[in-house]
Amino acid sequence: MRPRPAAPAHGAAPGRRRRGRLTAALAVVTAALLVLHPAVPNSVGRLGSLLESFLPWLGLVVLVLLGAALLRRSRLACAASLLPVVAWTHQFGALLLPGPGSGPRDLLVVQHNVSDENPDPAGTARALAAAGPDLIALEELVPPALGVYARTLAPDYPHHAVRGTVGLWSKHPLTRTRGVDIKPRGITGPWSRGLRTVARTPYGEAAVYVAHLPSVRVGAGGLASASRDESAVLLGEAVAAEEYERVLLLGDLNGTVDDRGLAPLTSRLDVPGRGFALSFPTAFPVARIDQVMARSVSVGRVRTLPATGSDHLPVAARIGFG
């Protein structure tokens, strides 16, 4: 009778132990990226900003790693997989919670890049007005669609301001409107994508900024966002110099709130603490680049509205003056 081979140490096959170690190592790396993403350098291809643009999607990696750990029945891998679970929950878990209910001193605002190729500007305007917002910020306003938006929104929004290709429609009076120069140095042609106005709401006045930052591109060299980042600095300086204490910023900022390229804004303004509201592209939204930020007023849960003729989804949020 042949002797029975000795059982592997620790009760696990060597291959299983190796697979468990690999899963554990990947889990530790994922947790580190979630927690230490500001340490990822931006000097080559703006890899830090690229990671931060899609940071919430590391949650899918977390689920895969956790599933792999359970499938292999590796205690080491299961324990290590809890690290990215905790890191992701700490970073984004609050966004999944329900926001507070509307208060008696709330305004509803809508932000939408309507697209300069929108085939139905009138339908888009009607859809936005149907949500009943107090303020509607629009980008990529081009003739003759601009006139269509103005005529369609006029009955419910008698006050509006337009500078270049951005505009704001309001149920409340607007005063002291002016353009905001956020044009990067590399753009030489006509380019006007920022405005500032003062909304006289029933709960007090607030300076409202509408902006459309330059687009970014992802290619073999990484994230091309230099113009966006430069424009964000200019807009951040304008916000910092704003004389009104209450400030709202609505716009297509071509970046997520985790992207360090928007730090000149996110360091000065509060961002929504509830809701993912992924807004771009419409066919399969992967990021919220349409933003609502504020100072000295609260931003409630941000949500998307139904699709229009644009390649962006509209986003809506309640602003509390309480």
| 136 — pLDDT class (breaks 50, 70, 90) | very high
- Asked whether residue 88 falls in the same domain as residue 139, the answer is no
Chain centroid to CA 242: 23
Q: Which of 164, 169, 198 is nearest to 179 (CA)?
A: 164
Of 117, 96, 67, residue with least CA distance to 281:
117
Contact between 291 and 248 (Cβ < 8 Å): no
β-pair partners for 194: 211
Q: Which domain holds residue 300?
A: 106-320
What secondary structure letter does DSSP report for 8?
A: P
User: Rounded to the nearest 5 degrees, what angle is found at the Cα of 232, between the Cα atoms of 239 and 186?
Assistant: 130
Higher local confidence (pLDDT), 98 or 205 = 205
Percent of the chain with pLDDT over 70: 94
Confidence of residue 219 (pLDDT cuts 50, 70, 90): confident
CATH number of the CATH domain containing 160: 3.60.10.10
Given 69, 96, 123, which residue is the final one in a domain? 96
In this structure, the answer to whether residues 133 and 258 fall within a common structural domain is yes
Residue type, 53: S
| 110 and 91 assigned to the same domain | no
One domain, residues 147 and 71: no
Residues facing 175 on adjacent strands: 198
Q: Output the pLDDT for position 5.
A: 57
Residues 90 and 111 in one domain: no
Say yes or no: 217 and 244 in one domain: yes
Residues 139 and 266 in one domain: yes
CA 243/CA 235 separation, integer angstroms: 14
Task: Give the whole-angstrom CA distance, residue 47 versus residue 39.
Answer: 11
Q: How many helices (H) and strands (E) does the chain have?
A: 8, 14
Mean model confidence pLDDT for the chain: 93
Cα–Cα separations (whole angstroms), residue 18 to 25, 54, 74, 193: 11, 30, 10, 55
pLDDT tens-digit map of 179-213: 999 999 999 999 999 999 999 999 999 999 999 99
Last residue of a domain, one of 96, 120, 153: 96
What average pLDDT score do residues 293-320 get?
97
Query: In which residue are the tokens 């324990």 written?
Result: 79
Neighbours of 161 (CB within 10 A): 22
With respect to residue 216, please indicate whether it lies within any of the assigned structural domains: yes
User: Is residue 1 in a domain?
Assistant: no
Least confident stretch, 1-5, 104-108, 153-157: 1-5
Total domain count for the chain?
Answer: 2
4 falls within a domain: no
User: Going by DSSP bridges, is the β-strand pair 174-179/194-201 parallel, antiparallel, or unpaired?
Assistant: antiparallel
Give yes or no: residues 289 and 143 share one domain.
Answer: yes
Pair (141, 203) in one structural domain: yes
**Over residues 1-6, mean pLDDT:** 58
Residue 237, in any domain of the structure = yes
Beta bridge partners of 107: 319
Residues in the chain: 322
Q: Which of 68, 96, 124 is the last residue of a domain?
A: 96
* Distance (Å, whole) CA 302 – CA 229: 24
Are 82 and 118 within one domain?
no
Q: How far apart are alpha carbons 179 and 181 in whole angstroms?
A: 6
Same domain, 137 and 177: yes
Same structural domain for residues 92 and 121?
no
